[in-house]
Structure 1
Amino acid sequence: MSNENNQKLKIISQYFIKPKQNVKLPNHPHYLSAFDILQLSTPYLHKGLLYAKPPSLSSIDSLIENLKQSMSIALVDFYPLAGLLSTVKYDADQSSWVYVDPDKGPGATLIHASSTEEYKVTVNDIVTCYENNSRFIWSFFDMGELGVVNHDGHTRPLLSVQVTNLVDGVFIGFTMNHSLGDGTSIWHFIKVLSKVFMGQGDEIEKPIFKAMFADGYGPVLKLPYSESESVTHFDVDPQLRVQVFHFSVRTIAMLKAQSNNNNNNNNNNNNRISSFQALAAFMWLSIARVQNLPGESDMHCCLIADTRPRHDPPLPATHFGNFVHLISVTSKMNDLMKNGLCWAATLLHQGVMGLDEKQIRASMKELAESPKVSSPKKLRDVFGTCPIVFTGSMRFDAYGAEFGLGKAVMIRSGYSTWRNGKIVVDPGREGDGSVDLQVCLLSETMNALESDKEFMSYVS
């Protein structure tokens, strides 16, 4: 967090929250799967909700007090989030084992922050901060400073909630260690916390904490020292920009119709290109076009797919952890430009339909045989400097979390969004299938995209 950002916010109070009652813990630690271990070198998840301050809000202090009580209740079911990571080293084979100790540490964190008297931040300031390319949004998340990665969960909270009081609104920033769960997991926690806050605790869907391992492997997966010690920090290129583009239900329907226009099997639901695949193909084409690269250049597009529904039998969305798989599609630049939207969308559709349990199990086994952590360098070696990577989902019920403040104004993310080519998919506020895309690109590419008339004609 920059000095400028520190001057705009001040910390009023900080609380450590443990489960409200003693939790009957299993007789083993919380194990990390091979996919969880991959995340040790990546940033924490940052998901934030911006609210206009309702007249019914008596005081921020009452909101904080209710959140303290609600977190302590929610953590009874989400107990691993109140602990810390631990590591056992095995000198004999120069390896280490990382797991979650639910009893370790002071608990999850709740922070009350406020804009300062000198810098009175409003809801509109947050709405427009992306348009002004401000990184001020990072300060609305605990551990929002550069360099923090999931491996730091050995000493830093695995879960932190920061409530920032604005002049006319409230921003609630949720920070969760990504080695414990994915986007589905953090939104599940947020939804449960809101329901507990609203007195609807009897309606919650409890999480399932059970790491999955390849047959014959686990639950102890050992990393070589060279891997566990290579986890250092996360950098952001100063030339990056993040912008939010909104796509209406009508626009997405148009893209979907165009993508299915030449699909001979579009009467078969399994062969119909989805709304998301059509939108992803449109973004892939648009970004490739404005980069104006040589025709033989490889253009990569990657989707982070939820694997829960692809297991047999399917896993419920409440299964907590990293149940995701990278789907990668590649095209030459000239092929992408020549063949257009329907062709690009078909490539993505085929990649999605090709992901099944057999492929997921094969990846689980490969990682279990040789556990490792992810790194930007490894991704660059495989995909080059700017693969388009989609994360998030238009299906998350993000706006269902109200905390007595009404429907949120918007969803925002922290610095973990800032990677060249990364696109975070969030549902639009009006619902019904509208979408917000938080797009991160180098300034030159972003400027070209914003100046592209064909692209901007689809943006609301």
Structure 2
Amino acid sequence: MEGGVHIMSRRMVRPAAEHAGELPDHETVHHLTPLDLQTITVDYVQKGVVLPKPPGGGEHVVEHLVSSFARALARFHPLAGRLAVAETPSPGGVPTISISLRCNGEGAEFVHAVAPGVTVADIADSLYVPRVVWSFFPLNGMLGTDAAVESRPVLAAQVTELADGMFVAMSLNHGVADGFTFWHMFRTWSEISRRSDDSADIELSTPPPVFDRWFVDGIPMPIPLPFAKLEDMVRRPVYTPVEECFLHFSAESEGRAVALLLLD
């Protein structure tokens, strides 16, 4: 394994609707629930997949992934929004703030990178996760609250071309959505990307997402937080560096696990 990761381009991708009425005609606001607010101070959800190098590769494939990402984002248009912080009035003059998701369609970040000295085997055959893998993820090291302080995207994708494959990754603000929504978006992007132009009008097998949030009766919306400013609610602990390991599961072992689950 030689060299590192080189960023070729960064762009902001806005939702691209395939059908009329797929996108709202005005900005909406989603207030965060208590559970959302508990997870907004942690790192972004980050996952990625290693894929074989497609025929032709290069810029053509990246542009195709950008286009399909924009169409998937139309279904998940709140993830193209931005977090907003507001001072909220409170009895007794105690300073409070609130955090909401403004669904304004500003877009999600898309990064194209290359790592010509890294092979699929360098990643998959290693017991420990190579340090270079961290560079395959966008918005790496950001906490959920950083997106509100700096008006950064709540969702980002990165396509890294390897010597003999591709690494496709996403990062999602945990205060905006959970791991289920993360993989729901990933599967939708994948399905749209695999379709040909002739099948664009065919209904996706992946169901549309649901972004409605539930609040207990009587809870004020937005929920006031007892802080004078957003930075006061964030803790940035320094962790002791550790080695992370890969866990490999064969198709047979996965099949047995699924069979056991079905028995229950």
For Structure 1 versus Structure 2, the TM-score category normalised by the shorter chain is 0.7 to 0.9
**Alignment RMSD (CA, Å):** 2.5
* Pairwise CA distance, 1:227: 8.3
Structure 1 counterpart SS, 2:243: strand
Q: Evaluate the alpha carbon distance shift between residue 172 and residue 133 of structure 1 in structure 2; reply closer, same or farther with a 3 A threshold.
A: closer
Count of aligned pairs between the two proteins: 241
Pick from 227, 230, 235: which aligns with 2:233?
A: 230
* Pairwise CA distance, 1:244: 2.4
| 1:75 aligned onto 2:73 | yes
**In 1, are the aligned partners of 2:27 and 2:102 still within 8 Å (CA)?**
no
> Using the alignment, how far apart are the partners of 1:250 and 1:172 within structure 2?
25
* Pairwise CA distance, 1:245: 2.9
Structure 2 counterpart SS, 1:113: strand
Structure 1 counterpart SS, 2:247: strand
Alignment-derived partner of residue 32 in structure 2: 32
Alignment-derived partner of residue 102 in structure 2: 101
**In 2, are the aligned partners of 1:41 and 1:233 still within 8 Å (CA)?**
no
Query: Normalising by structure 1, what TM-score?
Result: 0.49
Alignment-derived partner of residue 122 in structure 1: 119
Amino acid of the residue matched to residue 156 of structure 1?
A: R
* Pairwise CA distance, 1:136: 2.1
Matching of residues 97-176 of structure 1 within 5 Å: 97-103=98-104, 106-116=106-116, 120-129=117-126, 131-144=127-140, 146=141, 148-154=142-148, 155-176=151-172
Runs of 4+ in 1 over 6 A off after TM superposition: none
Alignment-derived partner of residue 393 in structure 1: none
Matching of residues 316-355 of structure 1 within 5 Å: none
Amino acid of the residue matched to residue 23 of structure 2?
A: V
Give the gaps of 5 or more residues in structure 2. 259-264
Amino acid of the residue matched to residue 190 of structure 2?
A: S
**In 1, are the aligned partners of 2:128 and 2:243 still within 8 Å (CA)?**
no
Query: Normalising by structure 2, what TM-score?
Result: 0.82
Structure of higher RCO (CA pairs closer than 8 Å, 6+ residues apart): 2
Identity of aligned residues (%): 28
Give the gaps of 5 or more residues in structure 1. 252-427, 435-460
Alignment-derived partner of residue 209 in structure 2: 207
* Pairwise CA distance, 1:52: 1.9
Q: Evaluate the alpha carbon distance shift between residue 38 and residue 73 of structure 1 in structure 2; reply closer, same or farther with a 3 A threshold.
A: same
Structure 1 counterpart SS, 2:99: strand
Larger helix proportion of the pair: 1
Alignment-derived partner of residue 293 in structure 1: none
* Pairwise CA distance, 1:189: 0.3
**In 1, are the aligned partners of 2:137 and 2:157 still within 8 Å (CA)?**
yes
Amino acid of the residue matched to residue 98 of structure 2?
A: W
Amino acid of the residue matched to residue 66 of structure 1?
A: H
| 1:84 aligned onto 2:82 | yes
> Using the alignment, how far apart are the partners of 1:173 and 1:86 within structure 2?
26
Per-residue deviation, residues 382-415 of structure 1 (Å, max 9, x unmatched):
xxxxxxxxxxxxxxxxxxxxxxxxxxxxxxxxxx
| 1:433 aligned onto 2:257 | yes
Alignment-derived partner of residue 331 in structure 1: none
Structure 2 counterpart SS, 1:29: strand
Alignment-derived partner of residue 219 in structure 1: 221
| 1:197 aligned onto 2:203 | no
